[in-house]
């Protein structure tokens, strides 16, 4: 995935009309990037799609672009598909959610750091913010790494085990990141004029969708017990 294509996609999202974004998305060609070149697509893999998932997650009011891209692999004319689990399976749906969660957490991290610096400039320094900043950055990075690992190969052949790790880790990180962000922002973070609550609300929705942490942890645990391997070997087998 080139930086040019990612930046073009980001500009497209930022310029979408709020009421009906789908004509603009159709015209852009981005909805068909997962289709093969023989089917007038770009033939992107999941690895290529990951930067676009991050950009989508950064925008809490973005339409269901990732899900629609995937849905058009089997339903070529589909638009505004909010849930691909019934047609393409829970693993792919969970991976797409985890990727967008990673993007949302990166946006929350930047927003929280900027707000804390602004408060410091106006004489209201937040105590021990350096440690807090490090914690939110670490959680965001780990969630991103787990999601990126699951964005591997063909969208129609997603690894359930990698999907499980991505969804579990994204859910865990989302709780920490959201909690820190709201603690730093205080009451303004839930006000109508501030975007933080939009991001954290989407994080909660993605975290519960397509199997939450408990559902995926149970599935991963059943697999781990059946393999009868030590932890290092299990990690290598994911």
The answer to which of 11-20, 31-40, 84-93, 130-139 has the lowest mean pLDDT is 130-139
Q: Each residue of 44-65: pLDDT tens digit? A: 999 999 999 999 999 999 999 9
Res 125: pLDDT: 60
Q: Residue 156 in contact with residue 70, Cβ under 8 Å?
A: no
d(CA 173, CA 142): 8
Residues 6+ apart with CB under 8 A from 177: 105, 108, 109, 136, 139, 140, 203
Q: Residue 18 in contact with residue 63, Cβ under 8 Å?
A: no
Q: Each residue of 170-201: pLDDT tens digit? A: 999 999 999 999 988 888 878 877 889 999 99
- Nearest 10 degrees: CA dihedral of 45, 46, 52, 54? -160
Look-up of token digits 């009309």: 17
Higher model confidence: residue 131 or residue 111? 111
pTM of the model: 0.92
SS (H, E, C) the chain: CCHHHHHHHHHHHHCCCCCCCHHHHHHHCHHHCCCCHHHCCCCCCHHHHHHHHHHHHCCCCCCCHHHHHHHCCCCCCCCCCCCCHHHHCHHHHHHHHHHHHHHHHHHHHHHHHHHHHHHHHCCCCCCCHHHHHHHHHHHHHHHHHHHHHHCCCCHHHCCHHHHHHHHHHHHHHHHHHHHHHHHHHHHHHHCCCCCHHHHHHHHHHHHHCCCCHHHHHHHHHHHHHHHCCCHHHHHHHC
Res 25: pLDDT: 97
Q: Is the pLDDT of residue 71 over 90?
A: yes
d(CA 33, CA 42): 5
**CA 140, 143, 146, 147 torsion-angle sign:** negative
Q: What φ, ψ does residue 142 adopt, rounded to 5°? A: -65, -40
Q: Residue 63 in contact with residue 22, Cβ under 8 Å?
A: yes
Res 126: pLDDT: 59
Q: What percentage of the chain reaches a pLDDT higher than 70?
A: 95
Q: What φ, ψ does residue 106 adopt, rounded to 5°? A: -65, -40
Higher model confidence: residue 121 or residue 18? 18
| pLDDT tier for residue 120 given thresholds of 50, 70 and 90 | low
Res 154: pLDDT: 87
């Amino acid at each position: 995935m080139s930086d040019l294509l990612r930046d073009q996609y980001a500009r497209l999202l930022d310029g979408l009309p709020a009421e009906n974004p789908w004509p603009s998305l159709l015209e852009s060609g981005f909805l068909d990037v997962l289709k093969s070149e023989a089917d007038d697509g770009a033939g992107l893999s999941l690895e290529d799609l990951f930067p676009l998932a991050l950009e989508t997650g950064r925008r809490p009011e973005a339409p269901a672009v990732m899900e629609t891209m995937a849905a058009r692999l089997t339903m070529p004319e589909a638009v505004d598909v909010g849930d691909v689990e019934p047609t393409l399976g829970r693993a792919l749906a969970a991976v797409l959610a985890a990727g967008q969660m990673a993007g949302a957490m990166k946006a929350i991290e930047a927003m929280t750091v900027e707000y804390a610096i602004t408060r410091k400039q106006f004489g209201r320094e937040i105590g021990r913010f350096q440690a807090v900043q490090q914690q939110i950055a670490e959680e965001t990075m780990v969630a991103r790494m787990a999601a990126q690992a699951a964005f591997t190969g063909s969208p129609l052949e997603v690894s359930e085990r990698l999907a499980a790790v991505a969804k579990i880790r994204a859910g865990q990180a989302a709780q920490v990141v959201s909690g820190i962000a709201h603690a730093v922002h205080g009451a303004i973070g839930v006000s109508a004029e501030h975007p933080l609550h939009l991001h954290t609300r989407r994080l909660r929705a993605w975290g519960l969708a397509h199997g939450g942490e408990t559902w995926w942890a149970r599935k991963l645990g059943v697999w781990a017990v059946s393999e009868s391997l030590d932890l290092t070997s299990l990690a290598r087998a994911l």
